[in-house]
Amino acid sequence: MKLRKVVITSLMGLCVLGAWGCDSKGKENGNDTYSSKKIDISSPDIYYDFSQIDGNTVKDNSGNHDGILENDATIVEDSERGGVLYLAGGNSKTEGQYLKLPAGCMDGVKELTVALDIKYEGTEVKDYVFGVGSSNAKFFSIGIGENRIDAYLQPLNNVKDKMVTKKYATSPGETWKHIVATIYADGEQYKLALYIDGEFISEMDLGEHNLASIGEGAEVSIGKPYMSGKYLTAYISEVKVYKGAAAKEDAASLYYSNFIDTYAAVFEEKLVTEMLSENMDISEIVSDIALPKKIDNYEIEWILQEGQDIIDTAGKIKTDLANDESVKVTAMYMGQTKEYELIVLGKNNIGKAFGNMVKNKLVIYNADNIRGNITLTDTVSVVEDVVDITWKSSDSNIVSDKDKGSMPKGVVARGKKDQIVTLTADYEVKGVKGTVEIPLTVKAKSDDKVYTNYIYTYFRGNIYGDGESQHIHMAASEDGLHWSALNNNEAILKAKLGTKGVRDSFIIRSPEGDRFYLIGTDLDASGGDWAAYGNKGSKYIRIWESDDLLNWSEERLVEIAPQRAGMMWAPECYYDDATGEYLVYWSTGIVGGNGKKIYCAKTRDFYTFTEAQIYKDVDSEGTYIDTTMTMYQGIYYRFTKRENDITILLETSDEILGDFKLVKDTINGESGVEGPAIFKLNGEEKWILMMDGYTGANSGVGYFPLVANSLADLKKGNFERLTSTDYEMPKGAKHGSFLPITAEEYEALIEKWGN
């Protein structure tokens, strides 16, 4: 992406009408009387930008008070803000993560200003963000919860607490929030004021009380509760503490400066990307642009160059221009003004621009680390054109470039050593021919695997009374029945995108043996509103991938559910040898349709998917969710939950997309169950079928195993429920998946995360 001309005007520090609320006389509607120290925002007394870390010590950029990361609190790299503090929470029974500042560092301080950026990940009524306290009856705090942000002073045991609060209809954690809380002197009395995103929220009288009323030696921390409750779960950036009072213009300036210091460059990239829409560059405009009014909750005002008729206020461009035309477009946001010079191409020059758009869409994912078949698309769409693509491989014995029967092109044959293969894609668009060359590194073939152990991925139930842990947990086993939770039964991978919750995970090993895909439901169900989750839920599948089970990619979300889908639940997949693709299947209900059913799509790379189609439809017996499947000796065994009576049935077929026939209407007579998961025991003709008992006769049971003791039993759907002495699950084990692993993989997991 290229920016040709940018003009930046900073309005930082000015009082902006309608934002901070200057009245007609210029007097501010906030604190304006001070009897002691007023802050200089450029000189905080404590400043953590989380860029200077020494072991578990967070260096104070001001050189005054370093912080200590407690209980494995971490500094993580945020793609938009650089280094940020991440706190993973915890409850009052198990020490949680927090940042500890030196006790007593606020001694003698009467007036205080705290400014910070936070992206809240919790679901509590209230969590503590920043606190100064000597006990649970004497403390100052900034709090955040499922529908609120507040500032709070409990000065003395016998004095009623003082709080200012901003209420929200939904969680304030959807985006980053900039919070400023200040205690300031107003004559001989004190006040507490709260600002969010530069806006004055409210203030209240503290009387004669101030921060010093708490007493000396007070603890100072970020993320630690001062009363009962959980530790904070959040990302925190740019913490600035001042031993003095902030005026309203200071809060606005802090908001502006934090935006510029931490996010302005990323925001502008997002703005330009959205403005360009399908166009590749501001110098090559060939299709309509977008003029978004808001990005990431920041409002944008657009101004188009006067006297031109090339781009209208909706972003629609004039086509069939004889020559290129220049149009200036101005964006105003967060006190800044940025001007872009857009070149709308004439009809004689659009071919090259369309070619660049084609090239941008011809992507081979993981091109430097090819371990399996790849997707070679036959066409790409650019604006209103569908462009044909012709592929040529420099070695078709390693990477095929032609379809062969039901097997699409892109089949990869790995050899004894890494090999370089170049793919060439030819196209023609708008009368212009072009070629794209994509070099691939095809990795050496993996050694054959001998499977001796197992891994189980799951989300954890509500075992601490503070809600489910809707993230990726893992357990390991030597026999497939007795499981040891890894990482002390805490999450190994955390959902950070979408709803920020992942349930019903499924892990699969590639047929080549050395790549793993981990998928799951994008769902945070902590609110308990299953009607909303089923009708207004996410349509995305959540995906991680790994080459060794230890090091995982960043998560990604891909929308795979069909139009009008109310949700995408419990995805699983199985490899189809006939086409060299993975068949991904999941539960979806169409809004206004006839109930939940199973859909499917195919993929090779878990980036691009075929169009969704029905895999198991509703019928006279009911509606369906939660399908799991295995194949043995050419027969596919498909287990599915029937919602009408909350049971699990079995169907079989000799083709993965064939006609499945009912074998067993209800497995073992079990009811009140969901989330089936099937896997074969290593070295035996025995199969374990897991069910998640949650209601009726199986209320509160959780995940439990049944066994088919022979191939004959599997074929007939005859499973025997094991007694509680025959197996051991991790505490809180819920719907997940099971995968055979090697002894080496097992030992590596134990070494990294323990058991």
| 3 state SS for 99-146 | EEECCCCCCCCCCEEEEEEEEECCCCCCEEEEEEEEECCEEEEEEEEC
- Does 69 share its domain with 173? yes
pLDDT digits (tens, 9 = 90+) for 208-228: 999 999 999 999 999 998 766
**Average pLDDT of every residue of the chain:** 90
Q: What is the pLDDT of residue 160?
A: 65
Residue 239 near residue 101, CB atoms below 8 Å: no
Q: What is the pLDDT of residue 147?
A: 87
Q: How many domains does the chain have?
A: 4
- Does 118 share its domain with 72? yes
Residue 132 domain-assigned? yes
Classify the phi-psi angles of 397: left when phi > 0, otherwise alpha if psi is within -120 to 50, otherwise beta. alpha
Element spanning 351, H or E: helix 350-361
Angle between helices 248-262 and 264-276 (to 10 degrees): 70
pLDDT digits (tens, 9 = 90+) for 259-299: 887 788 889 999 999 999 999 999 999 999 999 999 987 89
pLDDT at 33 over 60: no
Give the pLDDT band (50/70/90) at residue 30: very low
- Does 258 share its domain with 269? no
pLDDT digits (tens, 9 = 90+) for 511-542: 999 999 999 999 999 888 999 999 999 999 99
- Does 56 share its domain with 172? yes
More confident residue, 82 or 659: 659
Q: What is the pLDDT of residue 136?
A: 67
- Does 483 share its domain with 426? no
pLDDT digits (tens, 9 = 90+) for 461-478: 998 887 899 999 999 999
Give the mean pLDDT of 615-629.
97
Q: How far apart are CA 75 and CA 630, in angstroms?
A: 41
| Parallel/antiparallel/unpaired status of strands 502-509 and 432-442 | unpaired
pLDDT at 17 over 60: no
Q: How far is CA 451 from the centre of its chain?
A: 32
Q: What is the pLDDT of residue 158?
A: 58
Residue 675 near residue 717, CB atoms below 8 Å: no
| Structure token digits, residue 509 | 């090993």
Residue 475 near residue 745, CB atoms below 8 Å: no
Which of 485-489, 493-497, 546-550, 702-706 is predicted with the least confidence, judged by mean pLDDT?
493-497
pLDDT digits (tens, 9 = 90+) for 718-745: 999 999 999 999 999 999 999 999 999 9
Q: What is the pLDDT of residue 31?
A: 44
> Which stretches of 121-232 are assigned E, i.e. beta strand?
127-135, 138-145, 148-154, 162-167, 177-186, 189-196, 199-207, 219-222
Residue 413 domain-assigned? yes
Residue 740 domain-assigned? yes
Give the pLDDT band (50/70/90) at residue 20: very low
Give the pLDDT band (50/70/90) at residue 504: very high
Residue 18 domain-assigned? no
| DSSP code for 368 | T
Q: How far apart are CA 364 and CA 367, in angstroms?
A: 6
Q: What is the pLDDT of residue 26?
A: 32
Give the mean pLDDT of 327-351.
94
Give the mean pLDDT of 123-130.
87
Q: How far apart are CA 594 and CA 587, in angstroms?
A: 13
| DSSP code for 719 | -
Question: Domain range spanning residue 710?
Answer: 451-753
Q: Cβ atoms within 10 A of the Cβ of 644, count?
A: 11
Long-range CB contacts (< 8 A, 24+ apart) of 17-20? Answer: 19/198, 19/199, 19/252, 20/198, 20/199, 20/200, 20/248, 20/249, 20/251, 20/252
pLDDT digits (tens, 9 = 90+) for 226-244: 766 789 999 999 999 999 9
Q: What is the pLDDT of residue 11?
A: 32
Residue 454 near residue 738, CB atoms below 8 Å: yes
Instruction: Of 7-11, 28-32, 345-349, 656-660, give the range with the top mean pLDDT.
Output: 656-660
Q: How far apart are CA 253 and CA 260, in angstroms?
A: 10
Residue 315 domain-assigned? yes
Q: What is the pLDDT of residue 2?
A: 34
pLDDT at 636 over 70: yes
- Does 434 share its domain with 457? no
Instruction: To the nearest 10°, report the CA torsion of 346, 348, 353, 358.
Output: 130
Domain boundary among 422, 442, 462: 442
b vs e for 425-454, b when ≥16 Cβ sit within 10 Å of the residue's Cβ?
bebebbeeebebebebebbeeeeeeebbbb
- Does 270 share its domain with 258? no
Residue 123 domain-assigned? yes
Residue 501 domain-assigned? yes
Q: What is the pLDDT of residue 368?
A: 97
| Structure token digits, residue 32 | 């304006």
pLDDT digits (tens, 9 = 90+) for 90-115: 765 557 899 999 999 999 999 999 99
SS3 string of 6-62? CCCEECCCCCCCCCCCECCCCCECCCCCCCCCECCCCCCCEEECCCCEECCEECCCC
pLDDT at 32 over 60: no
- Does 459 share its domain with 437? no
| Parallel/antiparallel/unpaired status of strands 432-442 and 419-429 | antiparallel
Query: Residue 703's domain is classified under what CATH number?
Result: 2.115.10.20
Tell me which residue of 689, 651, 653 sits closest to 673, measured CA to CA: 689
- Does 273 share its domain with 257? no
Length of the chain in terms of residues written: 755
Sign for the pseudo-dihedral over CA of 12, 18, 20, 25: positive
Give the pLDDT band (50/70/90) at residue 447: very high
Give the mean pLDDT of 396-413.
97
Q: Cβ atoms within 10 A of the Cβ of 633, count?
A: 7
Domain boundary among 344, 361, 380: 344
- Does 658 share its domain with 725? yes
pLDDT at 19 over 80: no
- Does 252 share its domain with 269? no
Q: What is the pLDDT of residue 321?
A: 94
Domain boundary among 295, 328, 344: 344
Q: What is the pLDDT of residue 175?
A: 83
Residue 173 near residue 158, CB atoms below 8 Å: no
pTM, to two decimals: 0.78
Which of 141-145, 252-256, 671-675 is predicted with the least confidence, judged by mean pLDDT?
252-256
Residue 390 domain-assigned? yes
Give the pLDDT band (50/70/90) at residue 5: very low
pLDDT at 4 over 60: no
Query: Residue 41's domain is classified under what CATH number?
Result: 2.60.120.200
Q: What is the pLDDT of residue 88?
A: 85
Residue 33 near residue 186, CB atoms below 8 Å: yes
Q: What is the pLDDT of residue 355?
A: 93
Tell me which residue of 349, 323, 352, 328 sits closest to 339, measured CA to CA: 328
pLDDT at 702 over 50: yes
- Does 499 share its domain with 612? yes
